Structure 1
Amino acid sequence: MALTDEAMEKIKAMIVAGKLAPGSRLPKEEVLAGQLGLSRNSLREAVRALTAMRILVVRQGDGTYVSSLEPHLLLETLSFASDVSQGRTALQLLQVRRLLEPQATGLAAALLTSKDLRELGDILERAKSAATVEEFVVYDTAFHARIVEAVGNPVLSMLLRVLSTRTQRVRIVRGSRARRAVENAHRDHDQILGALRARDALLAASTAAVHITAVEQWLAASLIEEPVEPLAD
């Protein structure tokens, strides 16, 4: 195990054991390095890495603290993986989204207020006036996020944002026949909203599943159609 990895594991072990509670300040560098049997350089590298993972927070002029460790905060670091995902990795993320989002949409049918439903309708109207794929995806993302937020579970909301980031959605729409993809999305969105307005949880979940599955099937088909490179001699 690399020294930096060892240092990270030791700090995480202190957090898990309760020796460093969420929001607590880490001991001074020289003190913590001595406690863990690490060099100060290894400790610094570990702190940088754990800060990037949102496990630690550096406050300039004040010191280094353990973050709140809320799951939705820690999940934010996974957004980059979704942003850069392509091919089979993007397909796998969509498959996980299909397992989660329809259920959340069904739950939202009983939780969305009349105001929420009006706001969702407004989002869809603006989406239909979008001039570019990027603008459409802004509203597409907002529509789905607003529905999931009604469930009141920030971990679920963040996880679904991670599984389908705006960057990933733009790439998928652009990779398909963009105009047809957007038209199909408008139709699906209208059906989802109709089910939510009817307070029909089963129909809301079903229409959301159909919507996500259509994107998943297109992406799967595009992978099959990819040309296979010849083996090197």
Structure 2
Amino acid sequence: MAVTDEAILKIKEMIISGALGPGDRLPPEKELSERLGLSRSSMREAVKALEVIRVLDVRRGDGTYVTSLEPRLLLEAMSFVVDLHDDSSILELFAVRRILEPAAAALAAAHMTPDILDELRSQIGSVDDATSVEGLVAHDLEFHGAIAAAAGNSYLASLIESLSSHTVRARIWRGLTQENSVHRTLAEHRMIVDALERGDAELAQALTVVHISGVEQWLRDAATSA
């Protein structure tokens, strides 16, 4: 089990057991992480995930509170997670991305210029471990969009942009619930850029397949375990 998943389960157990009730304020991050035997980083990611599904309410400068936990509130917030697990069209979108984006990367390898490579590396350099999940996904969209644009086929680039925009929620949820998402994404992006810089179309294509398949496989696993 991923550490973040473990942290989510432990906080959930505190709520179910009554140790935390609706409206209660969570102990400070350091105290809570020590009590549950988890790192502060995994605790932080767990809180982010539980905030997204409206179990926790993070009030900047005040603290983190359990929400009212009203069924209406939770069902409304959970709908997008259910969509990810139950809607096969999301998996179909990733399958199409897995076909088109590697092809775009292969085409882009023949059109690389120093300016394009500098821009791609600058995009990667703008992200670090402190970047939010939303920031990471925004970078991912920009990165793949730049490669698609470099392929020299505007119709292909438009298709990829449309497909990519429909998979944002799945990518954000993966980033919240899977360990080392920032490090993994940036490492894969660097390898793709290195292949593009060498003009190695086959390698750029293969690395892009692996990169997109990672999210697709996570989604399949999540659907299976749901």
Shorter-chain TM band: 0.5 to 0.7
Quote how far apart the aligned CAs of 1:204 are: 0.4
| Structure 2 CA distance for aligned equivalents of residues 122 and 178 of structure 1 | 25
| Structure 2 CA distance for aligned equivalents of residues 130 and 119 of structure 1 | 21
Number of aligned positions between the proteins: 142
Q: Classify the secondary structure of the residue corresponding to 2:110.
A: coil
| Structure 1 CA distance for aligned equivalents of residues 157 and 83 of structure 2 | 19
Q: Contact (CA 8 Å) 2:123, 2:143: kept in 1 or not?
A: yes
Q: Contact (CA 8 Å) 2:129, 2:183: kept in 1 or not?
A: no
Quote how far apart the aligned CAs of 1:158 are: 1.3
Quote how far apart the aligned CAs of 1:198 are: 1.0
Tell whether 2:199 aligns with 1:199: yes
Counterpart residue number, 1:138 = 138
Tell whether 2:103 aligns with 1:103: yes
Q: Contact (CA 8 Å) 1:104, 1:151: kept in 2 or not?
A: yes
Counterpart residue number, 1:209 = 209
Q: Classify the secondary structure of the residue corresponding to 2:167.
A: helix
Work out which of the residue numbers 82, 86, 99 in structure 1 matches 2:84: 86
Shift of the 130–122 alpha-carbon distance from structure 1 to 2, 3 Å rule, reads farther
Q: Contact (CA 8 Å) 1:133, 1:170: kept in 2 or not?
A: no
Quote how far apart the aligned CAs of 1:89 are: 1.6
Quote how far apart the aligned CAs of 1:178 are: 4.1
Shift of the 143–85 alpha-carbon distance from structure 1 to 2, 3 Å rule, reads farther
Counterpart residue number, 1:160 = 160
| Structure 1 CA distance for aligned equivalents of residues 139 and 111 of structure 2 | 21
Tell whether 2:147 aligns with 1:147: yes
Quote how far apart the aligned CAs of 1:110 are: 1.1
Query: Scaled by the length of structure 1, what TM-score is found?
Result: 0.57
Deviates more, 1:202-211 or 1:155-164: 155-164
Q: Classify the secondary structure of the residue corresponding to 2:199.
A: coil
Counterpart residue number, 1:174 = 173
Which consecutive residues of structure 2, in runs of 5 or more, have no partner in the other structure?
1-81
**Which amino acid counterpart does residue 93 of structure 2 have in structure 1?**
L
Return the index of the structure with the highest Cα Rg: 1
| Structure 2 CA distance for aligned equivalents of residues 168 and 200 of structure 1 | 28
Q: Contact (CA 8 Å) 1:106, 1:205: kept in 2 or not?
A: yes
Structure 1 residue ranges, 4+ long, deviating more than 4 angstroms after superposition? none
Quote how far apart the aligned CAs of 1:175 are: 3.8
Shift of the 175–207 alpha-carbon distance from structure 1 to 2, 3 Å rule, reads closer
Q: Classify the secondary structure of the residue corresponding to 1:109.
A: helix
Counterpart residue number, 2:69 = none
Q: Contact (CA 8 Å) 1:107, 1:151: kept in 2 or not?
A: yes
CA RMSD of aligned residues (A): 2.0
| Structure 2 CA distance for aligned equivalents of residues 203 and 197 of structure 1 | 11
**Which amino acid counterpart does residue 191 of structure 1 have in structure 2?**
M
Tell whether 2:113 aligns with 1:113: yes
Q: Deviations over 1:34-74 (max 9, x none)?
A: xxxxxxxxxxxxxxxxxxxxxxxxxxxxxxxxxxxxxxxxx
Q: Contact (CA 8 Å) 1:104, 1:148: kept in 2 or not?
A: yes
| Structure 2 CA distance for aligned equivalents of residues 172 and 122 of structure 1 | 22
Q: Contact (CA 8 Å) 2:93, 2:167: kept in 1 or not?
A: no
Quote how far apart the aligned CAs of 1:154 are: 1.7
| Structure 1 CA distance for aligned equivalents of residues 83 and 209 of structure 2 | 21
